[in-house]
Amino acid sequence: MKSKSTAGHLASLLTIAIWGTTFISTKILLVDFQPVEILFFRFLMGLLALLLVCPRRLKGTSRHQELTFAAAGLCGICLYYLLENIALTYTMASNVGVIISVAPFFTAILSHLVLREERPGVNFFAGFTVAMAGIILISFNGSKMELNPVGDLLALLAALIWACYSVLTKKISVYGYHTILTTRRVFCYGILFMVPTLFLFDFKMELIRFANPVYLFNILFLGLGASALCFVTWNFAVKALGAVKTSVYIYIVPVVTVVTSVVILHEKITALAAVGTVLTLSGLFLSESKLFLKKEENN
């Protein structure tokens, strides 16, 4: 049990380390690609990669299980990313980053209501508060937060949708199927739900754009790394740790973003960002402490 828990924590860290750097690839691709095009190409590539890694079919599923897979695809693959991308067109990226980080709070509440897990302890909410303070410092770096009702509400809805996906992933993990097979099935449904949106957001196939090696490298990183690999490792982590304990690793995304900006973009880390990083990591450790959720510790 301890080795499984350790593997879950390592899988969470690997996932967040990659997800925290995807903004660079996405920013590069947005020069010549629409957000929905990047989304479609990356998950289609991720699906093909999972098919090559594990070509056998997922058999013996019930109608209820297929509905759960479909709901997970709709939430985690289609709606979450679309809402996040649309929110970015209305409000500041820093707003979206902070608001999305409340997903662990929603996950804790939904896990209690849907999965009948015990309510998070005081340390979870204390850690959440500390981490959010750090994330705000990192994201705004002392600048004034500009509220936009439409964009900010869409970002908040995206955080709730991700919490729904986390709970659905936890339910899927008890079915006993291989993680790659279940992730692949979720990808299929996510892409299926995504297809109607392609006609709404000026989607263009134009694969010739990938003749540019920079674009090709970045879409490969998003498709193979951030999608195929990371969704498998994230789902494995949820299976090993539980939906709530895994979700708190989302706090680290802004920290990874800061580090990546320093290393790759050669940006300077400010004092506020440094303090925010310390607070965010402290909040994570506090939320992950042994007082966290008694029920999950006993599993």
Q: Where do the structural domains in the chain lie, given as residue ranges?
A: 2-298
Looking at residue 263, its pLDDT comes to: 78
Judged against a pLDDT cut of 80, whether residue 93 lies above it is answered with no
Selection from 59-63, 110-114, 138-142 with the highest mean pLDDT: 59-63
Q: Determine the 3-state secondary structure of 293 from DSSP.
A: coil
Query: pLDDT (tens digit, 9 = 90+) per residue, 46-75?
Result: 999 999 999 999 988 999 999 999 999 999
Looking at residue 257, its pLDDT comes to: 75
Judged against a pLDDT cut of 50, whether residue 298 lies above it is answered with no
Which tokens go with 53? Answer: 């890694």
Selection from 122-126, 157-161, 243-247 with the highest mean pLDDT: 157-161
Check residues 39 and 272 and name the one with the higher pLDDT.
Answer: 39
CA 98 to CA 100: how far, in whole Å? Answer: 6
Cα–Cα nearest to 253, from 231, 224, 284: 284
Minimum mean pLDDT among 5-9, 90-94, 168-172: which range? 90-94
Its pTM stands at 0.83
CA 221 to CA 217: how far, in whole Å? Answer: 6
Judged against a pLDDT cut of 80, whether residue 250 lies above it is answered with yes
Query: DSSP secondary structure string, 174-218?
Result: TT---HHHHHHHHHHHHHHHHHHHHTTTT----GGGGGSHHHHHH
In angstroms, the first-to-last Cα distance of the chain is 9
Query: pLDDT (tens digit, 9 = 90+) per residue, 5-62?
Result: 889 999 999 999 898 888 778 878 888 888 889 999 999 999 999 999 999 999 889 9
Judged against a pLDDT cut of 70, whether residue 189 lies above it is answered with yes
Which tokens go with 127? Answer: 């850690």
Judged against a pLDDT cut of 60, whether residue 290 lies above it is answered with no
Selection from 93-102, 207-216, 241-250 with the highest mean pLDDT: 207-216
